[in-house]
């Protein structure tokens, strides 16, 4: 998967295809192994939690060139991932109220099981 294709998928709102790619899947495992399958956000707060997701520190939509850069990725637990995206979502909405982005999480990172449910609940709650 090359940068041109990633940019194309972003334009077409098909980033989910990126997350299904072999390139991402193997990078994801490298990142989790590098971080010892520990949530880096929890670690910064002195806690230890298992990382279930891999989060892009700089979002793929804005920085497609960093989509497959290991240093831009970190292992994160679902709880912190939800929080992180909640924050990003608010930020995006605030800056761009007419954005077609329904929720940041849909596009920024591969949705985990609980994560997509979380986003769904939020969306329903907000109408
Ligand atoms: Zn965490
Ligand atoms: Zn994320």
Query: What is the pLDDT averaged over residues 15-42?
Result: 95
Tell me which residue of 91, 74, 92, 80 sits closest to 118, measured CA to CA: 80
How far away, in angstroms, is 114 Cα from ligand 1 center?
Answer: 14
Q: What is the pLDDT of residue 93?
A: 74
Which numbered ligand comes closest to the C-alpha of 82?
Answer: 2
Q: Which of 33-42, 54-63, 96-105 has the lowest mean pLDDT?
A: 96-105
Q: How far is the CA of 127 from the centre of ligand 1 (A)?
A: 28
pLDDT level of residue 34 (50, 70, 90 thresholds)? very high
Question: What pTM did the predictor assign?
Answer: 0.73
74-111 pLDDT per residue, tens? 999 999 999 988 887 777 677 777 655 544 444 456 54
Phi, psi of 71 (to 5 degrees): -65, -15
Q: Which ligand lies nearest to the CA atom of residue 41 in the structure?
A: 1
Residue 83 alpha carbon to ligand 1 centre in Å: 9
Give residue 16 CA to ligand 2 midpoint distance, Å: 13
* CA 51 / ligand 2 centre spacing (Å): 12
User: Which 3 state secondary structure label does DSSP give 95?
Assistant: helix
């Amino acid at each position: 998967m090359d940068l041109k294709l990633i940019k194309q998928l972003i334009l077409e709102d098909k980033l989910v295809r990126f997350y299904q790619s072999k390139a991402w899947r193997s990078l994801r495992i490298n990142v989790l192994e590098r971080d010892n399958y520990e949530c880096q956000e929890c670690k910064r707060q002195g806690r230890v939690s298992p990382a279930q997701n891999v989060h892009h520190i700089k979002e793929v939509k804005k920085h497609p060139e960093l989509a497959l850069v290991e240093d831009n990725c970190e292992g994160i637990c679902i709880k912190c991932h939800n929080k992180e995206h909640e924050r990003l979502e608010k930020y995006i909405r605030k800056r761009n109220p007419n954005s077609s982005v329904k929720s940041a999480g849909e596009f920024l990172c591969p949705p985990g099981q609980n994560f997509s449910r979380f986003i769904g609940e939020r969306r329903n709650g907000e109408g």
